Amino acid sequence: MNAFWIILTGSLVATCCSLLGCYLILRRMAMVGDAISHAVLPGIVIAFLFTGSRESVPMLIGAGLLGVLTTFLIEFFHRYARVQADAAIGVTFTWLFAIGIILISVFAGQVDLDQDCVLYGEIAYVPLDLWITGGGLSLGPRTVWTLAVVTLLIILFIVLGYKELFLTTFDPAYAAAIGISTTVWYYSLMTAVSFTTVASFESVGAILVVALLVAPPATAYLLTDNFKQMLLLSVLAGILASAAGYYLAVWIDGSIAGAIATVTGMEFMLAFLFSPARGILIKRKQLQPVQH
């Protein structure tokens, strides 16, 4: 049963991250997830200092607010300081992450927080944190319920805002011309990325979140030119990586999160080599001269 909960957790995270990652890939903002995953550390510390609690809710609120602030700062530096987007991302997340490290070091005596837990997580512990009702009924791991709600919200967000997200991603000038606010939808997308990233920290850690935000969508991008198919393929690739990564970790007796991230990389390499449309080996074979 533990295997089921672990794979389900990984699949839920993969679904959220893969769907949002498709938009990030096409907007050339793939590393925003990495920026948010590091920049929220001071939010976690500040939330603890204000509440004195390590419960999930205040931590998620603090980290979520810092994630949104991160996206605002990235856009602010890019638009008003005229620096490249990648430079704005790099400056913002390293600065905020450093502030988080300083806060932990200064308040080390009072704050019992492990930044390694935030960065790496431990998906193997998911089955241990059960939601027990007052009557003693076990409803399964708390994390699964949290991620299930987040997944439903992300799917609802994409379904309801599909047209707006599609147009602002592929043709922002046309979207603005017909009255769609590119700014509103940009920040809506970044807010969704922020809360998805933060909600996944406790179970899988930031490293795996970044891998699932980038690798499955990049794999799907190599396999199709149809956007709806790209969304579906990215989700399937993420779920497959979650299941295969778990059994790989069991086989080698290693990190589950690391194994899942490894499988996402293997999927990308297979698409890179053998994709019917963009595969390197397929293209080379097509370019070979025909011998008579």
Q: What is the mean pLDDT of residues 192-198?
A: 84
Q: How is the chain split into domains, by residue range?
A: 2-129+141-287
Give the pLDDT of residue 23.
93
Query: Rounded distance, CA 147 to CA 16, Å?
Result: 9
Q: What is the mean pLDDT of residues 158-172?
A: 92
User: What pLDDT digit, counting tens, does each position of 130-156 carry?
Assistant: 777 777 777 777 888 888 998 999 999
Q: How far is CA 170 from CA 18, 32, 122, 173, in A?
A: 18, 18, 37, 9
Query: Rounded distance, CA 270 to CA 272, Å?
Result: 5
Q: What is the mean pLDDT of residues 177-184?
A: 89
Helix (H) or strand (E) holding 48, with range, is helix 41-51
> How far from the centroid of its chain's Cα atoms is residue 128's Cα?
23
Fold of 2-129+141-287: ABC transporter involved in vitamin B12 uptake, BtuC (1.10.3470)
8 Å CB contact between 257 and 205: yes
pLDDT(74) > 70: yes
Query: Rounded distance, CA 256 to CA 254, Å?
Result: 6
DSSP letter string over 56-124?
A: HHHHHHHHHHHHHHHHHHHHHHHHHS---HHHHHHHHHHHHHHHHHHHHHHTTTT----HHHHHH--GG
pLDDT(284) > 90: no
Q: Is 139 helix (H, G, I), strand (E, B) or coil?
A: strand
Query: Rounded distance, CA 129 to CA 126, Å?
Result: 6
Band of pLDDT at residue 114, cut at 50, 70 and 90: low
Q: How far is CA 186 from CA 5, 13, 52, 138, 193, in A?
A: 33, 22, 34, 40, 11
Q: Is the pLDDT higher at 13 or at 46? A: 13
Q: What DSSP character marks residue 125? A: G
Q: What is the mean pLDDT of residues 27-49?
A: 79
Q: How far is CA 269 from CA 59, 99, 102, 213, in A?
A: 36, 36, 38, 16
Sign of CA dihedral 89, 31, 141, 121: negative
Q: Is 175 helix (H, G, I), strand (E, B) or coil?
A: helix
